[in-house]
Structure 1
Amino acid sequence: MSYDEPLRLPAAAIPDDCRDWTAGRAANWSAALPSRWTFLRVRRSIAGAVTTLALCAGAWAAMLGGLWPFVAAGFAVYVLWVLARPELVWAGAPALLLGLAVQASSLPWAVTAVGAFVVVASWTAVAVRLRARGTQLAQALEAAGDGTAQVPAAHAPVRRGRFLLPLGVVVLVLGVLTGVTANLWGTVDDQRGSWVMAFYLTGLGLTALVSAWLGRHRAVALRRTPAPVLRVLVRDDAQGTTEVYAADDLAAMRPLFTVELTSYDGESDEDDEDDEGEDGGEGGTDSPDAGAGTGAEELERLLDAVDDDVPGPVREAVLFGAPFDGAEVVVLSADEDPDQPPLTEWSAGPVRPLSPSAGMRRIAKEKAREERNRQLERQARESVVDRAPAPVRRWRAGWLDWVAAALLVQWGVWLTWAGFTEAELPSWKLGLATALGLYGAARVPVKLAWRITADRSGLWVTGLRGPRHVPWDDIRSVRRRSFELKLRWRDDDWSVAAPRWAWFERRRGLVHPYDALAAELSAMREDPALRPTGESTTPERGRPLWPLAVVLALVWAAVLVVWG
Structure 2
Amino acid sequence: MTQTSAPISVGPAFESVPAWLSADAAAWAGARPGWWARPLWSVLALLASVAAAIGLEPMAVCSEAAPCGPDWVGMVQFGLAVGMPYWFARLPELALVAAPVLAVIVAWEELPATGWASRSANLAVIAALGLGWAAARARLAARRRQRDLVRQAGAAAVGHGWVKSTGAAPGRGRRGLVPIAVGALLCAVAVGAVVLGLRGVGEDERQAARATRTEAVVTGRTDMTLKVRTHDGRRLTVDALFPEDYRLESTVVVLEDGPWRRLAAEPYDAFDRQLAALAAGLPGLSLLTTGLLARRRAAALRRGEVPALRVLKRWDRKGRSWVYAADDTAGRRPLFSCVCLPVSTGAGEHGKAGGVDDLDDVDEADDVDTADVCTVDGRVPFPAAGLREAVMVGAPYEGGELAFVMTGGGAEASVVDCTVGPVRVP
Identify the match of residue 145 of structure 2 among 114, 135, 147.
Answer: 135
Q: CA deviation at 1:176?
A: 4.4
Identify the match of residue 158 of structure 1 among 161, 170, 173.
Answer: 173
Match of 1:364 in 2: none
Q: CA deviation at 1:69?
A: 1.9
Q: CA deviation at 1:216?
A: 0.8
Identify the match of residue 99 of structure 1 among 94, 105, 114.
Answer: 105
Match of 1:208 in 2: 287
Task: List per-residue Cα deviations over 1:193-248 (Å, max 9, x = no partner).
Answer: 86256235313212211221121112112222442110001122222222111111
Match of 2:27 in 1: 28
Aligned residue for 1:29, secondary structure, equals: helix
Q: Is the 8 A contact 1:59 1:72 kept in 2?
A: no
Instruction: Give the Cα–Cα distance (whole angstroms) in 2 for the partners of residues 30 and 76 of structure 1.
Output: 32
Distance of aligned partners of 1:350 and 1:304 in 2 relative to their CA distance in 1, 3 Å threshold = closer
Task: List per-residue Cα deviations over 1:515-552 (Å, max 9, x = no partner).
Answer: xxxxxxxxxxxxxxxxxxxxxxxxxxxxxxxxxxxxxx
Q: Note if 1:169 corresponds to 2:241.
A: no
Structure with the largest fraction of strand? 2
Task: List per-residue Cα deviations over 1:489-527 (Å, max 9, x = no partner).
Answer: xxxxxxxxxxxxxxxxxxxxxxxxxxxxxxxxxxxxxxx
Task: List per-residue Cα deviations over 1:297-316 (Å, max 9, x = no partner).
Answer: xxxxx955269999453221
Structure with the largest fraction of helix? 1
Task: List per-residue Cα deviations over 1:333-379 (Å, max 9, x = no partner).
Answer: 233x447822112222222223xxxxxxxxxxxxxxxxxxxxxxxxx
Aligned residue for 2:319, secondary structure, equals: coil
Aligned residue for 2:112, secondary structure, equals: helix
Q: Is the 8 A contact 2:318 2:371 kept in 1?
A: no
For the aligned residue pairs, the C-alpha RMSD in angstroms reads 4.5
Distance of aligned partners of 1:271 and 1:136 in 2 relative to their CA distance in 1, 3 Å threshold = closer
Aligned residue for 2:372, secondary structure, equals: helix
Distance of aligned partners of 1:23 and 1:193 in 2 relative to their CA distance in 1, 3 Å threshold = farther
Matches within 5 A, 1:247-326: 247-265=326-344, 303=370, 305=372, 311-326=384-399
Aligned residue for 1:19, secondary structure, equals: coil
Match of 1:343 in 2: 415
Instruction: Give the Cα–Cα distance (whole angstroms) in 1 for the partners of residues 128 and 372 of structure 2.
Output: 43
Q: TM-score, normalised by structure 1?
A: 0.47
Match of 1:331 in 2: 404
Distance of aligned partners of 1:199 and 1:187 in 2 relative to their CA distance in 1, 3 Å threshold = farther
List runs of 5+ in structure 2 lacking aligned partners: 1-5, 61-70, 202-223, 225-238, 243-268, 359-368
Instruction: Give the Cα–Cα distance (whole angstroms) in 2 for the partners of residues 110 and 58 of structure 1.
Output: 8
**Identity across matched positions, percent:** 25
Q: Is the 8 A contact 2:338 2:424 kept in 1?
A: yes
Q: Is the 8 A contact 2:103 2:126 kept in 1?
A: yes
Q: Is the 8 A contact 1:238 1:306 kept in 2?
A: no
Distance of aligned partners of 1:59 and 1:16 in 2 relative to their CA distance in 1, 3 Å threshold = farther
List runs of 5+ in structure 1 lacking aligned partners: 1-6, 274-290, 296-301, 355-564
Match of 2:120 in 1: 110
Q: Single out whichever of 64-73 and 210-219 deviates more from structure 2.
A: 64-73
Instruction: Give the Cα–Cα distance (whole angstroms) in 2 for the partners of residues 37 and 265 of structure 1.
Output: 41
Q: CA deviation at 1:147?
A: 6.8
Q: Is the 8 A contact 2:346 2:415 kept in 1?
A: no
Distance of aligned partners of 1:126 and 1:8 in 2 relative to their CA distance in 1, 3 Å threshold = same
Task: List per-residue Cα deviations over 1:265-285 (Å, max 9, x = no partner).
Answer: 4999x9899xxxxxxxxxxxx
Distance of aligned partners of 1:196 and 1:100 in 2 relative to their CA distance in 1, 3 Å threshold = farther
Q: Note if 1:18 corresponds to 2:14.
A: no
Match of 2:215 in 1: none
What count of residue pairs does the alignment treat as equivalent? 315
Q: Is the 8 A contact 1:69 1:195 kept in 2?
A: yes
Q: CA deviation at 1:95?
A: 0.9
Aligned residue for 1:33, secondary structure, equals: coil
Which structure has the greater CA radius of gyration? Answer: 2
Match of 2:129 in 1: 119
Q: Is the 8 A contact 1:74 1:199 kept in 2?
A: no
Whose relative contact order is higher, 1 or 2, with alpha carbons under 8 Å and at least 6 apart?
2
Task: List per-residue Cα deviations over 1:53-91 (Å, max 9, x = no partner).
Answer: 999999989996788121011112122211101112221
Match of 2:300 in 1: 221
